[in-house]
Amino acid sequence: MSITKKNPAPKVKGAIAQRGTDSYAIIPRLPSGIISADQLEALARAIRQFDIPIAKLTSGQRIALVGIKAADVPTVWASLSMGEGRAVKHGVHYVQACPGTTACGYGQQDSLALGARLEEMFDGLDLPAKVKVGVSGCPMCCGESYVRDIGLVGRKNGWTVVFGGNAGGRPRVGDELASGLNADEALALVGRVLTHYRDNAKKCQRTARFVEARGIESVRAALGLPEAPKASE
């Protein structure tokens, strides 16, 4: 008995083909999960106008619009006037951030401001694989910083930069590269470690697997950072 395979849906610019259907999903860019009233109204209008069946909050603090007809995709994007959030391409997919000192009583650093700067600096950067960033304004780590490719944790004395975390099927807690950094120093270190990763990782190799293959001390040495202190016995 022969099985006829359904041809994959044709690629549509700025959209993701949905499994087993002829529809597509788009993910507007929402830096650090911040959305304005105008953007909410634009999303609501598009959902009604194009009869979009699913509007889904994603784990990366974005909104996916699912079930769009191929012919409608360009018009939907035009009606939203919002940038595209990466979902399948290599590079920085998103920066998720907790409220930090802007709105949380536990916040020790301004995670929303730093998250916005990270989005601005690294959006569109060509990298070997997808990279997810988590920014937490305090050590309670609501931005899930230790299980993101790049993590930043706010403390009273400044920012801690974390590298090589992953929350997937092979989870890995990221390694701290440096602590007590101001915002500019933290951003500079993120830029350096992403450059090292870009220049040395294999294609499709996530940061967690890169660190496992190279060793975190190799990464630290390449960045000119001192060895991590040994855990006391």
118 alpha carbon, distance to own chain's centre: 10
Model pLDDT, residue 12: 85
User: Cα dist. 209→34, 35, 85, 148, 212 in Å?
Assistant: 31, 33, 24, 12, 5
> Per residue of the chain (233 residues), what is the pLDDT tens digit?
444 445 566 788 888 888 877 899 999 988 888 899 999 999 999 999 999 999 999 888 889 999 999 999 999 999 998 887 766 678 898 999 999 999 999 999 999 999 999 999 998 899 999 999 999 999 999 999 999 999 999 999 999 999 999 999 999 999 999 999 999 999 999 999 999 999 999 999 999 999 999 999 999 999 999 987 664 33
- In this structure, what token pair is assigned to residue 63? 């909104």
Instruction: Tell how strand 91-97 and strand 130-136 pair up.
Output: parallel
**CATH tag, 16-80:** 3.90.480.10
Model pLDDT, residue 21: 77
28 alpha carbon, distance to own chain's centre: 13
**Domain covering 91-222, topology:** Sulfite Reductase Hemoprotein; domain 1 (3.30.413)
Model pLDDT, residue 6: 54
Model pLDDT, residue 58: 87
Model pLDDT, residue 154: 98
Do 16-80 and 91-222 come out as alike in CATH topology?
A: no
**Domain-wise residue ranges, the chain:** 16-80, 91-222
- In this structure, what token pair is assigned to residue 139? 């050590």
